[in-house]
């Protein structure tokens, strides 16, 4: 009696299970990019870093080239035009990132003198920044005003640095008054606080400066609003990774350019045969 009922139910059970497994398998496959890009980057005290940034626990397809970050000794770093910056915060609505030069972190005398320069196809300088200029090994006989002189103790001995919150009237390197110069952006509010003696040069530099991101935020916002995660595909085009598959713009849009990876049919058939055998054993041995 019991076994008869099971036998009559068996085809139905089998079909349902196979259907469920098919769905699960295809979800697992397509979920991979969605799952990976759902993870934000957390490093040190900085968290919630997502598109266009990638690296650490986010695969490169979750971001854009040029926005790779690294977590080094609990500090989130980005390399822009061969200079390492520590990321202090990000603002996804602007969108922008606040960075501070790693070589100027805690010192005004880095081992090498490199001017701040950004890749303008990835970043821009928003308003509210002032360029500070640091000059090294200057001829003390020259007369010029408007700077603050400080001495750094380094492994290479004491170095005198002249700091200007505004550009000096002449380029002191070009006129050979100093041997090296470096310009570093700071927030204008920090430069003003500095001029009013309310902060130190080091504090102003360590506050960092903001960089706008040259990305299409509308594109990503639409994807996120539809429940997707932003990223890019193999040819570098924008992709919206969704629970079911990847779309060109937003989730569930029957879009050309959708690139969901489906499970090859033969693997399903193999699975089904194995499963069928297993079910047979369960039913016919136990009853």
What does the binding site for ligand NAG look like in residue numbers (CB under 6 A)? Answer: 35-36, 39, 57, 59, 65-66, 79, 81-82, 84, 113, 115, 119, 121-122, 133, 139, 141-142, 171, 173, 181-183, 196-197, 233-235, 237-239, 248, 257, 259
Cβ closer to ligand NAG: 115 or 287? 115
The residue among 14 and 83 lying less far from ligand NAG, judged by its C-beta, is: 83
Q: Shortest CA distance to 182 belongs to which of 217, 135, 220?
A: 135
- Comparing CB distances to ligand NAG, the nearer of 98 and 147 is 147
Min CB(90)–ligand NAG separation in Å: 18
Residue 178 beta carbon to ligand NAG: minimum distance, rounded to whole angstroms: 8
Nearer to ligand NAG, 14 or 59 (CB): 59
Toward ligand NAG, which CB reaches closer, 8 or 121?
121
Shortest distance (Å) from residue 20 CB to ligand NAG: 24
CB atoms within 10 A of CB 236: 10
CB 249 within 8 A of CB 222: yes
Least separation, in Å, of the C-beta of 153 and ligand NAG?
21
Closest residue to ligand NAG using C-beta atoms: 237
Shortest Å, Cβ 16 to ligand NAG: 30
Using the minimum distance from each CB to ligand NAG, give the nearer residue, 92 or 133.
133
CB of 87 to ligand NAG, least distance (A): 14
* Cβ atoms 26, 263 nearer than 8 A: yes
Cβ-based neighbours of 5, under 8 Å, separated by 6 or more: none
Contact status, residue 228 vs residue 34, Cβ threshold 8 Å: yes
Closest CA to 131 of 164, 99, 83: 164
Neighbour-count burial for 47-72, b at 16+ CB within 10 Å, e otherwise: eebbbbbbbbebeebbbbebbbbebe
- Nearest distance in Å: CB 15, ligand NAG: 33
CB of 29 or CB of 84, closer to ligand NAG: 84
């Amino acid at each position: 009696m019991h076994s008869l009922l099971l036998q009559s139910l068996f085809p139905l059970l089998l079909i349902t299970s196979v259907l469920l497994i098919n769905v699960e398998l295809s979800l697992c496959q397509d979920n991979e990019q969605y799952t990976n890009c759902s993870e934000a980057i957390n490093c040190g005290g900085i968290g919630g870093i997502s598109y266009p940034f990638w690296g650490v626990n986010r695969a490169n397809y979750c971001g854009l080239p040029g926005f790779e970050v690294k977590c080094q000794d609990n500090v989130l770093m980005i390399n822009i035009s061969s200079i390492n910056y520590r990321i202090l915060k990000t603002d996804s609505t602007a969108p922008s990132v606040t960075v501070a030069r790693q070589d100027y972190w805690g010192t005004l005398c880095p081992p090498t003198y490199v001017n701040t320069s950004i890749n303008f196809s990835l970043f821009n300088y928003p308003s509210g920044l002032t360029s500070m200029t640091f000059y090294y090994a200057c001829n003390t006989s020259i007369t010029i005003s408007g700077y603050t002189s400080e001495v750094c103790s380094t492994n290479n001995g004491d170095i005198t640095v002249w700091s200007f919150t505004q550009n000096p009237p002449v380029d002191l390197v070009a006129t050979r008054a100093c041997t090296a110069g470096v310009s570093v952006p700071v927030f204008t509010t920090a430069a003003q606080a500095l001029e009013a003696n309310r902060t130190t040069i080091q504090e102003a530099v360590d506050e960092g400066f903001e960089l706008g991101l040259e990305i299409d935020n509308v594109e990503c916002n639409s994807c996120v609003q539809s429940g997707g995660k932003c990223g890019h595909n193999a040819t570098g085009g924008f992709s919206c990774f969704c629970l079911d598959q990847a779309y060109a713009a937003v989730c569930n849009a029957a879009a050309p350019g959708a690139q969901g990876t489906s499970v090859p049919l033969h693997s399903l058939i193999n699975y089904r045969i194995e499963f069928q055998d297993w079910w047979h054993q369960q039913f016919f041995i136990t009853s």
